Every structure is written in C-alpha cells, then in structure tokens.
Amino acid sequence: MTHDPVLCLASASPRRRDLLASIGVTVEVRPVDIDETPRPAEPAADYVVRLAREKALAGARLTRLPTLGSDTAVVRDGEILGKPAGREQAATMLRSLSGRAHEVLTGVAVSGPAGLLSVCVTTRVFMRVLEEDELAAYWATGEPADKAGGYAIQGLAAVFVEHIEGSHSAVVGLPLFETANLLARQGVPLWHGA
C-alpha cells in the first residue's frame, strides 16, 4: 500500500529518504541546488544550519507540503572536510582522522505551519588507526568518492569506527530523534507510511 507524501525532502540523498521511511514518513523528493560554499570564518555548526535552512526554504517554494532540508559536515580540529576530489585527497582526509576523534555535525530545518524550525546535532566519532593498504582498498570500493570526510559510517567504513558519542543516524545524514521533534512541531505525522 502506498501512502501520499506528508513531507517534501529537499535533498537527493537516498540515505535521508531511507531514514525518514524508517520512521514511517512518506516523502516527495525535490532536490534543490544552493551554493554550499562556507563563508569566511563561519563555524561549522552555523554552516550546516544555514545550509539546512536554505535548502528547506528553497524546497518549500516547490510544494505545499512541510519541507525538510539537511546538511552534514565532518569536522576535524574546526576544519570542515568536504567530499574528496580524488584518491589522494580521500587518503589524506582518512589519515587525518585515523586513531583519533572528530565531530560530525548535522543541521536539520523544517519549513511549515510553525515557521522555519532548525537544530544542529553534534556526534563525536572515534576512528581506529587505519593502515595504508586499507586506505587503498577502501578507495577502490568507490564508496568514499562522494562522502563528506571520505567515509560512510553506514557502509564499508563501519569497520573503521571504534565507537561514537551521540546520534548514529545523524552521522548517516539525519538525526531521527531531533528530526521527529521538528516534524511533530510542524504537524507531520510519524508512522504514516509504516
């Protein structure tokens, strides 16, 4: 049985769509194109919330449904690590995360009857020491090519992560606890499509 969408997802991310589906939220997918360049000296938390809000507002212009925008950044020592441009940049990023903790910040914004609501969730990720042959083998899988920080916790890189402090789903791309609270405030039902 298919259900009518109750939310517009202003993102092409299959992970975000799947996370929303896991809590029974049926979405209409409307990716938006915004400038994702960080502003000079912009703190990472401000950056991800700004992008989430811009995405939600841009998506809201395309639909009558409440609209969700989100952005995730991998942050090491205050520096935002984007998607690697190639194999060597991915290896450099992963070497810099090897054997230490870093932060993953996810901003979520929902535009709807209650206005534009947003939140930022920070999760600390502790990576084990990575070997050079692992970095080469991981790159060969193709997985790190389009991932912030050069890895996917929900994928093959799960074996690199010793533990986390915070929300696993936020590292994947959408903190479900906080997202459910924002959706409830906008009148979006959970378990609608379950």
DSSP 18-68: HHHHHTT--EEE-------PPPTT--HHHHHHHHHHHHHHHHHTT-SS-EE
- Cα 30 from chain centre: 16
Taking the C-alpha atoms of residue 157 and residue 135, their distance in angstroms, rounded to an integer, is: 10
What residues act catalytically? 71
- For 30, which DSSP code? -
Contacts of 123 (CB under 8 A, 6+ apart): 103, 104, 105, 106, 164, 165, 166, 167, 168, 170, 171
